[in-house]
Amino acid sequence: MENYGITLSSQERDEILLLNRKLRTNIEGRLPSKDYHFVKESITRTINDGGIRRDGFGFFPVILDMQTAYIVGQEIGLHRDIIQSIMLNRSLQHGTITLDEVKEKLGESVANMLNNLYQIHSLYAKNSTIESENFRNLLLSFANDMRIILIMIASRLVLMRRLFDSEDIEGRKRVSAEVSKLYIPLAHKLGFYKLKSEMEDLALRYTESDVYATLSRKLEETAASREDYMKSFIHPIETALRKNPHIKYHIKGRTKSINSIWQKMKKQRLPFENIYDLFAIRIIIDCPPHEEKSLCWQVYSIVTDMYTPNPNRLRDWLSVPKSNGYESLHTTVIGPEGRWVEVQIRTERMDAIAEHGLAAHWRYKGIKSEKGLDNLLASIRDTIENLSEEEVNENKFKMELYKDEIFVFTPKGDLYRLAKGATILDFAFSIHTGLGCKCTGALVNGRNVPIRHTLNNGDQVEIITSNSQTPKQAWLNIAQTGRARTKIRQALKDLTARQADIAREMLIRKFKNHKIEYDEAIMDQLIRKMGYKRLSDFYQRVAEGGIDVAEIYKRYNSIINPESSESTHSAQDFTLVPDKERFGGNDVLVIERNLKGVDYKLSKCCAPIFGDEIFGFVTINGGISIHRKDCCNARQLRERYPYRVIDARWSDTVTAKGMYEVTLRIVGHDDIGIVNNITSLITQEKDVTMRGINIESHDTLFSGTLTLMVSENSKLKKLMTKIEAIKGVKQVTRI
């Protein structure tokens, strides 16, 4: 990072003196004199030693730190320990002071915060912005001490304010992009709406300066008329409220932020002149806690008696506050001249929380906190922990933090808070992982719905389960919350592990039946030879039936008894064409019923039938296994053992034909009679015999397998086409 030196301008010196007075006033009575002098002396020594240099934008870090400390104290409401930590951060980085010295002089709480701030500095020292994944990891490491996260938000706001004085245009845009993606959603989640709004406006100012300048000018031009309108709107309300002397209140009008106006213009595709709700009226009541709800609703009644409300725009965050602690009653009414006006009704306490976040009434002692903070920490922690690296890179991190909330009820009346857009599956997993894994649907307000159904605010939900239900990979696309997706991933891993255990036990029994001891080291050697990097992948493949157990046994036996097994053959070891006229003069293995001199078998992994495009593969015991060219193992066999691959085709003679076993997978809508329609169709087909059927129903769909005996590939294709034509069948595939 470029060294700009430490010569201070007179303006910077004046700024430091002013900030020092503000900070002392802000923490007066909370910071003992000896602590103040320790901080001041440490900073002075660090500056004199040349330990504080200008940053990459040319700003003097001490001024940035003092401004950050002021925001934390004034806007967020935290003092002493946190302010000392911010101010001593540079001295610790330079080595002027040590953590042990800080712990002795100021206490363990300050020392712990300084240690955390050092981690943040280490990341930002390399670059003026931070990557999403690093940011996610930082938040996770600080999730038990929210003060550090508050410092991060405040320090980025300070930098955004100062960037106006920087000529580094690209640097402005880079920091603005980082703040928009990471810090603004975080401030929103924590309820710091005032800080969030300012950061949004600054980001717009640096990234779309022409838009910002135009809207600023238009707001200034219409300020007088807007002020007159607000007065005319408020006057009748104040007249009515004065008739209720027991209601102590004050009213203020608030023009919407430039960024929120711009977002509304884009969303509604309207010019500035057609955006009428440029401001909101806030009625703030001064009353004891036990009267808050009743007085807020009383004021609401007064407002709506005077102006007609829009029933679709009522927002009741009194009964159920947002997860970040926000409480208020919002309504939109038609004011004079037919203009819509938003009215916000809240108490002094609620207004303080809305302006400054939950920190307005947190009281820290070390890293302990009130119940409200614990709940918020849990919410933030869930959001961060449940986002994978891919989701962070895809900007889902921002969406998760910004998500609005809905509230749904169980049949017993228990209330659950979920992200807007949550599905039945999200709700089930929010209650318990076991419930989510067995979920097949739900009754929502008495109506049967599938797991992908999107919930609405106020829904009553009863989860329907089935013991035969298991988690599906497709559920990851249905779940909308990070918490549910994480639980589904873990459930899928557990299911895979259980299936792998079953496959392993099956192999052990197979070996035991042949009086061969199962050795993990030898099996590990065999598995790696077969191209699998992880044991779990191999056993999962066995469980799915993708690997012939008999083949595994033979290969295992060849390792422990090399002298008893035949040497591995290559394709060149076979004389395939004793009669050139019969084989067409090509080096091709032709498969027919009476083929002699060649030991071959049809592979179970792909079950080839007459008419399929095929190839041969020389096995370790000298035989040949016949595979379909689209077999799931074909690519691996050709790449790893090309010398053992033989071209093959079916004989053109009738003697090659017979009856072959085939398995089809069918998916469709779970309609009455659909299975009967499928089986009826098959029984009417010539040269087709049904050997077995296995159907499972889940949600409004069914899936299952059909085991058939057919004579040739063309017959099978026609049959699959006919099955797909049955009403309700969505997909027919060959396994």
- Tens of pLDDT along 575-588? 444 334 433 444 67
The residue among 422 and 313 whose pLDDT is bigger is 422
For 162-201, give the secondary structure using H, E and C.
HHHHCCCHHHHHHHHHHHHHHHHHHHHHCCCHHHHHHHHH
If you average pLDDT over residues 618-647, what whole number do you get? 82
pLDDT at 415 over 70: yes
Residue 191: the pLDDT is 78
**10-192 and 217-356, same CATH topology:** no
Q: Using alpha carbons, select from 344, 330, 332 the residue that is nearest to residue 308.
A: 332
Other C-beta atoms lying within 10 Å of the C-beta of residue 584: 11
- Parallel/antiparallel/unpaired status of strands 405-409 and 415-419: antiparallel
If you average pLDDT over residues 125-138, what whole number do you get? 67
* Alpha-carbon dihedral sign for residues 723, 439, 388, 174: positive
Residue 524: the pLDDT is 78
Residue 665: the pLDDT is 86
Residue 391 pLDDT class (50, 70, 90 cuts)? low
If you average pLDDT over residues 11-18, what whole number do you get? 86
> pTM score, two decimals?
0.58
d(CA 682, CA 704): 15
The residue among 39 and 586 whose pLDDT is bigger is 39
d(CA 113, CA 249): 40
d(CA 142, CA 149): 7
If you average pLDDT over residues 244-253, what whole number do you get? 91
The residue among 293 and 386 whose pLDDT is bigger is 293
- Rounded to the nearest integer, the mean pLDDT of the chain is 80
pLDDT at 367 over 50: no
Residue 2 pLDDT class (50, 70, 90 cuts)? very low
Give residue 24's identity as a one-letter amino acid code: R
Residue 158 pLDDT class (50, 70, 90 cuts)? very high
Residue 396 pLDDT class (50, 70, 90 cuts)? low
Furthest CA-CA distance within the chain: 113
In degrees and rounded to multiples of 5, residue 546 shows phi and psi of -80, -10
Residue 527: the pLDDT is 80
- The segment with the largest mean pLDDT, out of 65-69, 148-152, 589-593, 648-652, is 65-69
pLDDT at 318 over 50: yes
Residue 365 pLDDT class (50, 70, 90 cuts)? very low
Residue 606: the pLDDT is 83
pLDDT at 567 over 60: no
Residue 188: the pLDDT is 83
User: If you count them, how many residues does the chain have?
Assistant: 735
Residue 320: the pLDDT is 81
If you average pLDDT over residues 393-415, what whole number do you get? 71
Mapping DSSP to helix (H, G, I), strand (E, B) and coil, where does residue 327 land? coil
Residue 401: the pLDDT is 65
d(CA 556, CA 161): 70
Residue 44: the pLDDT is 85
Mapping DSSP to helix (H, G, I), strand (E, B) and coil, where does residue 206 land? helix
Residue 568 pLDDT class (50, 70, 90 cuts)? very low
The residue among 137 and 262 whose pLDDT is bigger is 262
Q: Mind listing the pLDDT tens digit for each residue in 707-721?
A: 888 888 888 999 998
Give residue 340's identity as a one-letter amino acid code: W
The residue among 577 and 548 whose pLDDT is bigger is 548
pLDDT at 249 over 80: yes
Residue 475: the pLDDT is 92
Residue 81: the pLDDT is 82
Residue 369: the pLDDT is 41
Q: Give the range among 105-114, 142-151, 456-465, 700-709 with minimum mean pLDDT.
A: 142-151
pLDDT at 368 over 50: no
Contacts of residues 252-255 at CB distance under 8 Å and 24 or more positions apart, as own/partner, are 252/281, 252/282, 252/284, 253/227, 253/279, 253/280, 253/281, 253/282, 254/279, 254/280, 254/281, 254/282, 255/219, 255/223, 255/226, 255/279
If you average pLDDT over residues 248-256, what whole number do you get? 90
If you average pLDDT over residues 462-485, what whole number do you get? 88
Residue with tokens 């049949």: 411
CATH 3.30.70.260 at 660-734, yes or no: yes
Residue with tokens 């990891």: 137
Residue 7: the pLDDT is 76
Residue 192: the pLDDT is 82
Residue 330 pLDDT class (50, 70, 90 cuts)? very high
The residue among 131 and 566 whose pLDDT is bigger is 131
Q: Give the range among 298-312, 536-550, 579-593 with minimum mean pLDDT.
A: 579-593
Tokens at 420, concatenated: 């807007």
pLDDT at 653 over 90: no
Any bridge partners for residue 330, and if so which?
315, 344
d(CA 75, CA 196): 12
Complete DSSP assignment for 616-648: EEE-TTS-EEEEETT-TTHHHHHHH-GGGEEEE
Residue 204: the pLDDT is 95
Domain ranges (residues) in the chain: 10-192, 217-356, 491-560, 571-656, 660-734
pLDDT at 286 over 80: yes
Residue 579: the pLDDT is 38
Q: Mind listing the pLDDT tens digit for each residue in 662-695?
A: 888 888 887 767 777 888 888 888 878 888 787 7
Provide, rounded to the nearest whole percent, the portion of the chain with pLDDT above 70.
81
Q: How far is CA 327 from CA 354, 492, 576, 726, in A?
A: 7, 39, 83, 55
**Which listed CATH number (1.10.10.10, 2.40.10.340, 3.30.70.260, 1.10.3210.10) goes with 10-192?**
1.10.3210.10
Residue 409: the pLDDT is 84
Residue 411 pLDDT class (50, 70, 90 cuts)? confident
Q: Which CATH class is domain 217-356?
A: alpha beta
Q: Using alpha carbons, select from 281, 275, 277 the residue that is nearest to residue 235.
A: 281
Mapping DSSP to helix (H, G, I), strand (E, B) and coil, where does residue 575 land? coil
Residue 133 pLDDT class (50, 70, 90 cuts)? low
Residue 385: the pLDDT is 59
Are the C-beta atoms of 168 and 57 separated by less than 8 Å?
Answer: yes
Residue 669: the pLDDT is 80
pLDDT at 364 over 60: no
